[in-house]
Amino acid sequence: MTSASTARSESPSRRRLPLAITLVVVGALVVAFFLFSGLYTDYLWFAQLGYSSVLTTQWAAVAVMFAIGFVAMAVPVWLSLTLAYRLRPVYAKLNSQLDRYQELVEPLRRLAMWAIPAVLGLFAGLSASSRWETTLLWLNRTVTGTTDPQFGLDLSFYLFELPFYRGVVAFASAVVLISALLTAAVAYLYGSVRVNGRELRISKSSRIQLAILAGLYLLLQAVSIWLDQYVTLTQTGDLITGAAYTDVNATIPARQILAGIAVLIAVLFFVTAFIGRWRFPLVGTALLLVASVVVGSLYPWVVQRFSVDPNARVLEQPYIQRNIDMTRDAFDVADVEEVAYSATTEASQGALRSDAETTASIRIIDPAIVSPAVTQLERFKTYYGFNSELDVDRYDIDGESQDTVIAVRELRQSGLGDGSSWYNNTVVYTHGYGVVAAYGNQRSSDGQPVFFESGIPTSGELGDYEPRIYFGEQSPQYSIVGAPEGSDPRELDYPSGEDGATETYNTFDGDAGPKLDTVFNRLVYALKFQSEQIFLSDAVNSESQILYDRDPVQRVQKVAPYLTLDSDPYPSVVDGEVVWIVDGYTTSDAYPYSRTVSLSNSIADSDSEAQRYAIDDINYIRNSVKATVNAYDGTVTLYAWDESDPVLQTWQKIFPSTVKSIDEMSGDLMSHVRYPTDLFKVQRAILGQYHVTDAGRFYSRTDAWQTPADPQESADTNSLQPPYYLTLQMPGQDEPSFSLYSTFIPRGASSEDASNVLKGYLAVDADAGSEDGVKGDGYGKLRLLTMPDESTVPGPGQMQNDFNSDQTVSSLINILRQGQTDVLNGNLLTLPVGGGLLYVQPVYVQSTGETSYPVLQKVLVGFGDQIAFEDTLDQALDSLFGGDSGASAGDGDVPTENEGGGEETPTDPDTGGGADTPSTGIDAELAAALADAQAAMEEKQAALEAGDLAAFGEADDKLTAAVDRALELLGE
């Protein structure tokens, strides 16, 4: 009876055991399948692009580094635990407390002997696997041929070797330290180490084991201290980055001494392992700690305080010079051409005659403002859209290079409204269509951009090209395209017919994504995107491809994980295709004596937000790669732009055959390559201080500059003015070239300061030429115009204040604001023409209606303290320069209708545009009307403050009359 009842009580638990095991196995298989499907889809994506070697190299590197880290931690820890336990005293007399601990530990001892090393090895393996890049860089390091000025070592030691060595020493130190602590714990628990009152007894076996571990740890610390002397060349101090006088004469020798002491103490520990005398190594350890304080900290402080500080200017000069030279090399600004520019501030008649080509190319279309206008005029359907800020490029039109504002008409599925469904979003609405391009220096009579490529289907000056945009910055998360030959097309190509009443469909016929030609592939992608429709839908067939990861920057980043990418990719029509051009940088934070800057802060301005980077603090950068992403099939092509860059050369050894030579770039592509904005921003941040090449002047910091704040932003944001692309001719150039420029004002000056004068003007030749695989001779040439100390040329903020405070201009702006309209100031451009600096600012007017868009209404120009405000740039320049500037601007002959390649687009009634505004200029009669309006507004304000309603009404009547008179004169 007893046995039967026992059987009955055990049978339910026995029945549940197989079920539990089955559930665990099934759960593990499900997790494994999800992990496998993620890896498998990644492989399909890379393989389709032709970069599978990039993925497999990463996988192999991570796996090998994980295995090395696991073994390097688990084996020493396991060996230490095993030796400590097996060499324990057999008949050790323990106290009652340790006896209880042993009773608790003993049942789990065998498990712990394996679990502890395994868990620690797991964490160590994960840590080591994250260092795969550092390890591969060390294994494939490239000699630079340049040595540091302190130790005479090749710079490759700092770029590739030192980070690896320090990582290995740190990892090994952690292994030895953990092994020593666990050995001590086991030895104490099992009686190898006993404490009786003030007496410490250690068995011979434990003594040997602990002493050897302590000796190894001290040896590793000696190596670490020795390597630390090289780190001084990349550490940022109060004065410079790199080893200064105190570092060279105190810190570095101190670390060498401390490393030697650590080696001696390690030897003493090894001796103790055999002779059993702990006194000498323990005393030595104490002396090492004292020496680290006295020699490592106190002595350098004394040298700095009593020797360097009283004579810093003299003693620090050689090291400041090192910092200047190495910083300029690291940021590729060593060859900047400085030109003393005594800018005149007097606008004389005919002053622009010698700059006629530059003035004819001045861009008055602001890409940061006109996007709503382009959207309203060229969107056609709500499911199309353009970026909020357009891009600037240049195209040859009728044999002349034209600065161009260009945009891609991308698909915006958010505009589908009620038409949004899985089928529509995934199969029908898959791509955008065409590009829109406008002259940068022209405007229509009603203030609209003048397009030379527009419409659907596209037409204009760019010729025949593949207009379909499957890959862009706003593309859907994923689309499924392709169908068997002969199938009815179902991908919406573009609206056609009158008012877009009908639609044209197309079938994708390229190779742009992984195939969904098997049930397994459909299943793994259904899991990846958590959509059962991918697996079940009849729209998915044997010819289907799935397109995802479609953002150009994202695609380049995945196939070239070692690159830091520019924040401003831009589209170009190249060789009959629309391609996105993406600039890639190789960076480092280990270039000796080079100043460290924050990359995210350096590129942040009113046009770009601060980005997140894996390595943000850098002291070396090169534009090593130009990448293109085909907008139709997503093909990613990498070109080695700076083949001399040792960092790129090293990565090319790691990922061979992934980067093509510059020789393979076509002339058409070369003609659209430009100098990248983020690199230029970093360089201008450096040159704000490092334009000074004399160590004495650098130390005094009397000539430090900064980038001015953007005048269009509110003062509390303190956003920097972005650089602008313009075609201009700098002093020293034979002819104008497509360039990127920025300005400098004195450091510490604000927009309201009288000291906000222009101190420097930096421009770089951004035109790479048009010859196959050959950079233009001038590409990348930096030119810096420096103003004399007594210069009174206003900076951008001061000029904007002059524009805003000018009575005539402000009165006319107030008139333009009448009737529920907003006035938008465009980008404030600065050009070195006429022997001085010319400021140009387009002024846009926009109705507050929902369907309105900004139209270019006026142009402000300034030269010195003189201002003009006219309907066109041509008129404004003539007005500014005594009635005849001597040159014609590109908007002199304003077209009466939109002369782009597409159909003429009607004027939006909400903008108030359409009627020609007579170019009367600000004559005496108009100026008098504006002055009366200004006076009336002041009277209104005074009456309001005084509470005099009668005077307020009279002033209001005066204001109305003055405004009506001014509007009549303007022809409104």
From the CA atom positions of the chain, what is the Rg in Å? 36
Residue 913 reports pLDDT greater than 50: no
Half-sphere exposure of 61 (CA within 13 A, CB side): 18
Q: What is the pLDDT of residue 275?
A: 85
pLDDT at position 846 over 70: yes
Q: Give the pair of three-digit tokens for residue 74.
A: 């688990």
Q: What is the pLDDT of residue 850?
A: 62
626 closest CA partner among 681, 561, 667, 675:
675
Q: Which 8-state DSSP code applies to residue 794? A: B
Q: What is the distance between the alpha carbons of residues 314 and 569, in angstroms, rounded to a whole number? A: 47
* 198 pLDDT higher than 70: no
The pLDDT of residue 922 is: 46
The residues with which 629 forms a beta bridge, in sequence order, are 580, 636
CA distance 784 to 787: 10
Residues 251 and 234: their CA atoms lie apart, in Å, by 14
What is the rounded distance in angstroms from the CA atom of residue 930 to the CA atom of residue 921?
13
Calpha distance 855→852 (Å, rounded): 9
pLDDT score of 919: 35
pLDDT at 615: 87
d(CA 83, CA 71): 17
Between residues 832 and 715, which one has the greater pLDDT? 832
Q: What angle do CA 699, 598, 714 make, to 5 degrees?
A: 95
Which residues, other chains included, contact 91 with Cβ-Cβ below 8 Å and sequence gap of 6+?
Answer: none
The position carrying tokens 């770029």 is 159
User: In 3-state terms, what secondary structure has residue 695?
Assistant: helix
Long-range CB contacts (< 8 A, 24+ apart) of 609-617? 611/567, 613/564, 614/564, 615/564, 615/587, 615/588, 615/589, 617/589
Examine the pLDDT at 633 and tell me if it is beyond 60: yes
Whether 383 and 411 have beta carbons less than 8 Å apart is answered as yes
Say what the pLDDT of residue 99 is: 60
Q: Count H helices, E strands: the chain?
A: 30, 34
Q: Is the peptide bond before 561 cis (omega within 30 degrees of 0)?
A: no
Helix (H, G, I), strand (E, B) or coil at 498: helix
469 touches 432 (CB < 8 A): yes
Task: Report in angstroms the alpha-carbon separations of 516 from 41, 45, 513, 526.
Answer: 11, 12, 9, 11
Beta-carbon contacts of 283 under 8 Å, excluding residues fewer than 6 positions away, are none
pLDDT confidence tier of residue 750, bands split at 50, 70 and 90: low
Residue 69's H or E segment, with its range, is helix 52-86
Give the Å distances, CA to CA, from 316 to 153, 334, 696, 701.
22, 21, 9, 14
Asked if residues 838 and 831 have their Cβ atoms less than 8 Å apart, the reply is: yes
**Residues 537/561, Cβ–Cβ less than 8 Å:** no
CA 242 to chain CA mean position, Å: 25
CA distance 230 to 226: 8
Can you name the residues that pair with 26 across neighbouring β-strands?
none
pLDDT of residue 906: 37
pLDDT at 609: 81
| CA distance linking residue 810 with residue 931, whole number of Å | 10
Among 189-203, 415-429, 627-641, 837-851, the least confident range: 189-203
Contact present, 453 and 437 (Cβ < 8 Å): yes
Which of 105-109, 386-390, 433-437, 892-896 has the lowest average pLDDT? 892-896
Q: Quick one: tokens of 710?
A: 């953007």
pLDDT at residue 909, as a whole number:
33
Q: Which residues contact 285 (CB under 8 A, 6 or more apart)?
A: 218, 265
pTM: 0.88
Give the Cα separation of 265 and 745 in Å (integer). Answer: 57
Contacts (Cβ under 8 Å, ≥6 apart) of 316? 239, 240, 244, 245, 308, 695, 699
Query: What is the pLDDT of the chain when averaged over all its residues?
Result: 87
In the structure, what pLDDT confidence band is assigned to residue 620 with cuts at 50, 70 and 90? very high
Q: Are strands 782-786 and 337-340 parallel, antiparallel or unpaired?
A: parallel
At 94 the pLDDT is 57
The pLDDT value given to residue 811: 79
Of the two residues 213 and 893, the one the predictor is more confident about is 213
Reduced to 3 states (helix: H, G, I; strand: E, B; else coil), residue 769 is coil
Task: Give the tokens for residue 821.
Answer: 């309209």
SS3 label, residue 105: helix
Give residue 901's pLDDT.
Answer: 44
Place of tokens 């958010």: 414
Lowest mean pLDDT among 60-64, 550-554, 747-751: 747-751
User: Residues 76, 77, 82, 88: is their CA dihedral positive or negative?
Assistant: positive
Q: Write out the two tokens for 17.
A: 């055991």
pLDDT above 90 for 921: no
Helix, strand, coil percentages for the chain (3-state, nearest 5): 45, 20, 35
Question: What confidence tens digit (pLDDT) does each residue in 93-143 have?
Answer: 555 565 666 666 677 778 888 999 999 999 999 999 999 999 999 999 999
Could you report the per-residue pLDDT of 943-971, keeping only the tens digit for each? 767 767 677 677 777 777 777 777 666 55
Find out whether 862 and 803 touch, Cβ atoms under 8 Å: yes
N-to-C CA span, the chain: 112
pLDDT value at residue 702: 84
| Residue among 522, 527, 525 nearest 538 (CA) | 522
Tell me the per-residue pLDDT of 345-371, one tens digit each, with 9 for 90 and over: 888 888 898 888 888 889 999 999 999
Compute the distance between CA of residue 636 and CA of residue 655 in angstroms, rounded to an integer: 15
378 near 453, Cβ under 8 Å? no
Exposure class string for 477-500: b at 16+ Cβ within 10 A, else e:
ebbbbbbeeeeeeebbbbbeeeee
Q: Which of 375-384, 614-623, 713-722 has the lowest mean pLDDT?
A: 713-722
Q: Report pLDDT digits (tens) over 9-62.
A: 556 666 677 777 888 888 888 888 888 989 999 999 999 999 999 999 999 999
Q: 109-113, 320-324, 825-829: which range is least confident on average?
A: 109-113
DSSP 15: H
Residue 425 DSSP code: I
The confidence band for 851, taking pLDDT boundaries of 50, 70 and 90, is: low
3 state SS of 583: strand
% of the chain with per-residue pLDDT over 70 = 89
CA dist., res. 853 & res. 369, Å (int)? 9
In a 10 Å sphere around its CB, with 0-12 CB exposed, 13-18 middle and 19+ buried, how is residue 748 labelled? exposed
